[in-house]
Chains A and B, each alone.
Chain A
Amino acid sequence: MSIPLLEVQDLHKFFFTTRGVVKAVQGVSFTLSAQETLGLVGESGSGKSTVAYTVMGMYSPTGGKILFRGQDISVSHERRPLSLKKELQIVFQDPGSSLNPRRSIGDILALPLSIHGKNNPGTMKERIEELLQMVELPPEYVSKYPRSLGGGEKQMVAIARALAVEPSLVVLDEPTSALDVSVQAKIINMLVEIQKKRGLGYLFITHDLSLMRNIAHRVAIMYLGRIMELAPSRVFFEKPLHPYTRMLISSIPVVSEQEEKLKPQKIIPRGEIPSPVNLPSGCVFHPRCIEREELCSQKEPEMIEAEPGHWVKCHLIRT
């Protein structure tokens, strides 16, 4: 394979607090190609957003490397060149707080264009209308303010803003979690279409596994700062190996019998995700794991490739 769009190698991110070191991310590695959607799933506190923010440069990594098209970008935001920032954009979960309530939609969309030197006064208005059209909003929205838009429409504006500077990688941090499914469906379809047209890479952060089944090409599941399993979407859902993945998939509430049949045997979830300050010994999942063995509390398992493209971090899985 040629150089991937994004490559994360052994990423570590610790936060030093008065109550101890929060080991938010410990040894995360993955790649993402153009045209590809990588789903990064996990419960709250698993470190998925920290990975995303570190990729964006909102945090600088404690260890490990982030490569964009082979070039090392493991520095924080303020030390990244403008030309690099243009390539990486992010859409946040809550469009209510990511859009400035005192700026019109037109102003919101104009800002990235002028920052990145695309503020040719002659074409600015046209460009903004194009952006609105891309997210299927009528041109008169230019003069509206975020408060008069519905949640879905606000998120459309946030997406248009991220795409204004024509990035090649977009981090989507739970972009539809706050929205109803009927609105989510529209946004997801639009994102998929835009990806096809522009060949974007999406790093899609979410806790919604069913959604990932439908749009991600590959899925990685995180638990306490580590990737526990990474596989092509179909394999991930049809042949999950890690007990944590199976527990999570078996807990998803579904709406039909066909789906029920696809779920692994029900594992009644127990316990909660522990604090990332005091991590369990050995495999971090062992206190909640029903299949744990003695070794699990003593030694952290290595990530192994169980079959081509299917990576898993569990002592029970042997090649």
Chain B
Amino acid sequence: MSQPLLDIQNLSVRFRVYGGYLRVLDGVNFQVAPQERVGLVGETGCGKTTTMKTIMRILPQPPGVIKGGKIIFKGKDVLGMESWEVERMRRREVAMIFQDPTAALNPVFTIGEQLFDAIRYATGKEESDHRFLREVAIRALEEVALPDPARILTNYPIQLSGGMRQRVCIALALACPKELLIADEPGTSLDVTIQDQILRLINRLAEERKMAVILISHSLGVIRDWTERVWVMYAGTVVEEARTQELFAQPLHPYTQALLKCVPKLTGEGIAEGIPGRIPDYFDPPSGCRFHPRCPYRMAICSQEKPRLYGTPTHHVACFLYQEERK
């Protein structure tokens, strides 16, 4: 891999709560190459969104505490940036869209007002430059395939359907060129047909603009369809990383294997048993590998030591089962 666009090294984040700390992220490593479409998959509460919020520097602090690690974006550590540098990154380089487009849009302003705001923020243009704002806004709405953009500028979010609102959010995020788009469950609250349209749109824009995408999802199927490389998270740790095809053809980590088994299949072979136990309490997470209490293959070492990533250059897995054979 050439110089990564984004390189997260050993990121640890805790949340301060009454009586102690929630150890949420525990040494997360994560890389994105320029123009790469990367998936981040994991169940509720595994730290996907916390990781992304930390990248954007929108993690609320307190209660969040960044305990250690680095987030290198284009050669610069985001965590050490001055606030004006963070601003510049958000204006020009990284955009984020969220799961719930209804919550992401302000209900009391028209789409036009919100788009003009976003464009002014990204370009530094004055409000008086109305013609420029309008032009960029209309083009942005056209790019996300919304019909009749001039009318949509005058609409309030409530006048649009869920799918159209998510398109507006994408237009807001990408009205001005960006190098990285973080899409946090962009289709989850929508129907499959609409989700398909939204992901297709993100994919097209990424290709046209040579933009990298981090697609966060709890749906393995979505990740398989729309990404080139995938990172699997469990309880605040990265457990496996591979080329998407490789991961789905041959999942290595016991957690990934179990998760894949739980997904209902079109082949109709019935539903797997589920994963025994529950996600750990971040107050007092399991020692060593955080998955060990639920793992059918656990060994003595699993509770004593945290596994590092083993494997081949295209497939890494944080599991002691692969320590020997894949050195």
Complex partner residue of A214 from B162, B196, B264, CB under 8 angstroms:
B264
Chain B contacts for A256, CB-based, 8 A: 248, 265, 267
Say whether A253 contacts B221, CB under 8 Å: yes
Q: Which of B163, B200, B221 contacts A268 (CB 8 A)?
A: B200
With A182-B258, A182-B274, A214-B270 already in contact, the answer to whether A255 and B193 are too (CB < 8 A) is: no
Q: A262 contacts B267, CB within 8 Å?
A: yes
Known contacts A251-B193, A253-B221, A269-B197: A186-B274 contact under CB 8 Å = yes
Instruction: Report yes or no: A269 in contact with B268, Cβ–Cβ below 8 A.
Output: no
Choose one: A43, A188, A215, A262; the contact of B193 (CB below 8 Å): A43
Option from A43, A188, A211, A270 in Cβ contact (under 8 Å) with B191: A43
Q: Is A210 an interface residue (CB 8 A)?
A: yes
The B208-226 residues at the A interface (CB cut-off 8 A) are: 218-222, 224-225
Q: Give A249 to B266 CA distance when docked, in angstroms.
A: 9
Query: Closest CB-CB distance, A187 to chain B, in whole Å?
Result: 8
State whether A215 touches B271 (Cβ < 8 A). yes
0/1 per residue, B178-209, Cβ < 8 Å to A?
00000000000001111111001000000000
Given contacts A214-B270, A255-B224, are A182 and B43 in contact (CB under 8 A)?
Answer: yes
Instruction: Tell me if B278 counts as interface (CB < 8 A to partner A).
Output: yes
A152 to B44, CA, bound (A): 12
Knowing A213-B264, A213-B265 are in contact, say whether A185-B271 is a contact too (CB < 8 A).
Answer: yes
A-B contact count (CB 8 A): 125
Of B192, B196, B197, B219, chain A has the most CB atoms within 10 Å of the CB of: B192
Report yes or no: B191 in contact with A254, Cβ–Cβ below 8 A: no
Query: Is the Cβ of B44 less than 8 Å from the Cβ of A208?
Result: no
Q: Which residues of A contact B161 (CB under 8 A)?
A: 272
Contact present for A255 and B274 (CB under 8 Å): no
Interface string of A222-262 (1 = CB under 8 A from B): 00000000000110010000000001110111111111001
B272 at the interface (CB under 8 A from A): yes
The residue that B273 contacts in the complex, of A152, A186, A208, A234, with Cβ under 8 A, is A186
Q: Is the CB of A214 within 8 A of B265?
A: yes
The contact of A185 among B194, B200, B267, B273, by CB within 8 Å, is B273
Q: Given the complex of chains A and B, what is the CA–CA distance between A249 and B268 in angstroms?
A: 14
Q: Known contacts A182-B258, A188-B271; decide if A269 and B163 are in contact (CB<8 Å).
A: no
Q: Is B86 an interface residue (CB 8 A)?
A: no
CB–CB A255/B267 < 8 A: no
Which residues 132-165 of A sit at the B interface, judged by CB distance below 8 A? 150-152
**B158 interface contact, C-beta 8 A:** no
Which A residues lie within 8 Å of B263 (CB)? 181, 210, 255
Knowing A207-B192, A214-B271, A272-B161, say if A253 contacts B219 (CB, 8 Å).
yes
Chain A contact patch, size range: 35 or more
Complex interface: chain A residues within 8 A of B275 (CB): 182, 185
For the complex formed, measure the closest distance between the CB of A156 and the CB atoms of chain B, giving whole angstroms.
Answer: 12
Q: State the Cβ distance, A14 to closest chain B Cβ, in Å.
A: 21
| Most B C-beta atoms less than 10 A away, residue of A208, A270, A273 | A273
Cβ-defined contact, B274 with A183, below 8 A: yes
A180 near B: Cβ within 8 Å?
yes
B269-315, CB < 8 A from A: 269-275, 278
Query: Is the CB–CB distance between A259 and B260 below 8 Å?
Result: no
Q: How far is the CB of A135 from chain B (nearest CB, A)?
A: 13
Q: Distance (Å) between the CB of A178 and the closest chain B CB?
A: 9
- Per the bound structure, the CA–CA distance linking A257 and B207 in Å amounts to 25
| Residue in chain A with minimal CB distance to B226 | A253
A-B contact pairs, 25 of them (CB 8 A): A43-B193, A180-B43, A181-B220, A181-B259, A182-B43, A185-B271, A186-B273, A186-B274, A188-B271, A189-B273, A207-B192, A213-B266, A214-B265, A214-B270, A251-B196, A252-B192, A252-B266, A253-B219, A253-B221, A254-B224, A258-B265, A258-B267, A262-B266, A269-B193, A272-B163
**A→B interface (CB under 8 Å):** 43-44, 150-152, 180-186, 188-189, 192, 207-211, 213-215, 233-234, 237, 247-249, 251-259, 262-263, 268-270, 272-273
Extra pairs beyond A152-B278, A181-B220, A251-B196 (16, CB < 8 Å): A180-B43, A180-B218, A181-B43, A181-B262, A182-B43, A182-B262, A182-B274, A185-B271, A185-B272, A211-B264, A213-B264, A214-B270, A248-B192, A253-B220, A254-B221, A272-B194
